[in-house]
Amino acid sequence: MNNLFRSPEETALMGLGVALEAAATFYAHARELSHGDLRAFLNERADALAGASVAWNGNLKDRDILPGTPDEDAETLRRITLFAGMTLGADEEAALFDMCARMEQRLLAALGEAAITAMDEPFAQAAEEAGHGCVAAIAGIWRLRKK
């Protein structure tokens, strides 16, 4: 459906769904490049975001709002994963931390945009879980960078 026919609320709800799906895909591909503590962090985040994405987009479908499709960040990372075929070195890990931080920033921004809507309880609960996950992930990124 064209954005011209969507309300600002629907657009915001759909935008968060897109951000969640893109982040879930990003982390799913990123974990293939990593090892050790970083892999554990990426695995946990990928699984949490996959669940959040399914729940959020399920809520959208229940309200007859079709979910959108994610941006190209995840696709770019998938190509890098295929070309790399190995685990990351220290410099590449630093770049991956930066990408993770930007992904969390996008999720927080999408959560803020969705806050303009009067969400039903399933949406509010999913948004709360996603928000707590973002903050925990940012703290996790800080801790992993210190190692």
Query: Tens digit of pLDDT for each residue in 42-77?
Result: 999 999 999 998 888 888 888 877 666 665 555 566
Q: Exposed/middle/buried for 26, CB within 10 Å: 0-12, 13-18, 19+? A: buried
SS3 breakdown of the chain: % helix, strand, coil, rounded to 5?
80, 0, 20
**pLDDT at site 79:** 58
Q: Exposed/middle/buried for 11, CB within 10 Å: 0-12, 13-18, 19+? A: middle
| Least-confidence region, from 37-46, 122-131, 136-145 | 122-131
pTM confidence score: 0.78
**Region 92-118: what's the mean pLDDT?**
86
Measured distance CA(136)–CA(107) in Å, rounded: 13
